[in-house]
Amino acid sequence: MAQKVIIAGGGTGGHIFPAVAIANAIKKLQPDTEFLFVGAKGKMEMEKVPQAGFKIEGLDIAGFNRSSLIKNIGLPFKLVKSFMQVKRIFNSFQPTAVIGVGGYSSFPVLRFAQSKNIKTFIHESNSFAGKSNIMLGKKATRIFVATDGMEKFFPKEKIMITGNPVRVSISQSHISREEGIRFFGLDPNKKTVLSIGGSLGAKSINEAIDKQIEVFEQEGLQLIWQTGKPYAEKGKQAAEGKPNVWANDFITQMEYAYAAGDTVISRSGAMAIAELCVVKKPVVFVPFPFAAEDHQTVNAQNLVNKNAGIMVKDSEALNKLVPSIIALVKNEQQQAELKTNIGQLGITNADEIIAKEILKTIQ
């Protein structure tokens, strides 16, 4: 009998891309599996999941707004409405298993599945578990985590350390550096810095680059600058008339960007780190300081301790980031050490490990 699997969650690329990777890995092992993604209306998954070739339903749901309590007035109504929507989705799709990857929509979907005794699986990509995942973990069938030490959040017997699934287009890419650089219309003879601020962009990284954008040309460097939507206009203005700078809000084919970048500037979200370990790049990390429990700083520090990355604090990025990346570009020996050490942490088949465990459990 064909399995019917619901995958719930999203909000950022860090939740969406692993979800798609897991779905593709299950499909490869069992091609007749049917999938339905459930996301939050207005969020990134509503666009990215169909692009990956899967169906998605959106819920009317929002998370708790910590900065503006007035915006939480409608939250109980939205929660009730989302549970009604989830009930309707389950009645029509009749899933045999549900996978939650984090994000607003995963909570009502997994909660409902657990109330109906449908097997639920959680993928927690961070070294610090999110609150809804901790609550859902108590009744989950299996919990896939990226790092050790997660017993403080989840029942020990349910945990399986798998690492984070990296998109196949990245983990199995054979694109050369030259192909990558030509993809962005740049010069393969020049050293290239890749700056990625996560799917929504990173304000401190963008402002630091904008302020010192002339330095890249002065040093004979090229820049591939992914700004995120909020900074897209300013970024394009700053890059105008500069043939050594490529700027855009989003990079759809990240495999080309990773191939092109000799050094990288990045946030330190779990998925960014998983990808950078697989592609073996020397990185300057700028952790997002407002992530839950400041887990991005924990993630970055973990790599710094292993001499697998450099860290610049978000509050110091404006003045320190560009000089730090320039210093790294000039230090070939440091680049080689960082590459070797970050590469040793790469896991290329986490999606397959997770897919096999899910199929084994539900068959």
Q: By CB neighbour count within 10 A (0-12 exposed, 13-18 middle, 19+ buried), where does 292 fall?
A: exposed
Residues 183 and 225 in one domain: yes
> What's the average model confidence in pLDDT over 339-352?
95
Residues 81 and 180 in one domain: no
Q: Which of 99-108, 234-243, 303-312 has the lowest mean pLDDT?
A: 99-108
- Rounded to the nearest integer, the mean pLDDT of the chain is 93
Residue 325 binned pLDDT confidence (cut-offs 50, 70, 90): very high
Instruction: Give the pTM.
Output: 0.85
Q: Residue 81 has what pLDDT? A: 85
Residues 162 and 206 in one domain: no
Q: Residue 2 has what pLDDT? A: 87
Residues 192 and 334 in one domain: yes
Q: Do 265 and 284 contact (CB within 8 A), yes or no?
A: yes
Residues 294 and 353 in one domain: no
Residues 255 and 269 in one domain: yes
Q: Residue 71 has what pLDDT? A: 56
CB atoms within 10 A of CB 222: 25
Give the 3-state secondary structure of residue 144.
strand
* Rounded-to-10 torsion of CA 341, 128, 160, 55: -100
pLDDT digits (tens, 9 = 90+) for 176-198: 999 999 999 999 999 999 999 87
CB atoms within 10 A of CB 71: 12
Q: Which of 122-131, 249-258, 316-325 has the lowest mean pLDDT?
A: 122-131
Count of domains for the chain: 2
Q: Which two tokens stand for residue 332?
A: 């070939």
Residues 73 and 26 in one domain: yes
For residue 88, the domain's CATH number is 3.40.50.2000
DSSP secondary structure letter of residue 11? S
* Displacement of CA 303 from its chain's centroid (Å): 17
Q: Residue 63 has what pLDDT? A: 56
Residues 118 and 237 in one domain: no
Q: Where are the beta strands (DSSP E) in the chain?
A: 4-8, 34-40, 56-59, 97-100, 119-124, 142-145, 159-161, 192-196, 222-226, 245-248, 263-266, 283-285, 310-311
Residues 311 and 241 in one domain: yes
Among 90, 88, 85, residue whose Cα is nearest residue 59? 85
For 62, 223, 246, 247, 338, the CA distances from 181, given in Å and listed in that order, are 39, 10, 10, 13, 22
DSSP secondary structure letter of residue 245? E
> What string of DSSP letters covers 188-217?
TTS-EEEEE--TT--HHHHHHHHHTHHHHH
Q: Residue 103 has what pLDDT? A: 84
> What string of DSSP letters covers 302-322?
HHHHTTS-EE--GGGHHHHHH
Place of tokens 């909660």: 111
Q: Do 16 and 22 contact (CB within 8 A), yes or no?
A: no
Residues 197 and 158 in one domain: no
pLDDT digits (tens, 9 = 90+) for 213-252: 999 999 999 999 999 999 999 999 999 999 999 999 999 8
Give the angle subtended at the CA of 177 by the CAs of 246 and 305, to the nearest 5°: 90
Residues 202 and 122 in one domain: no
69 vs 353, more confident: 353
* Element spanning 26, H or E: helix 13-29
Q: Do 195 and 265 contact (CB within 8 A), yes or no?
A: yes
Q: Residue 73 has what pLDDT? A: 60
Convert 250-272 to b/e letters by CB count within 10 Å (16 or more is b). bbeebbbbbbbbbbbbbbbbbbb
Residues 246 and 325 in one domain: yes
Is a pLDDT exceeding 50 seen at residue 66?
no
Q: Give the residue numbers spanning the domain of 261.
A: 170-343
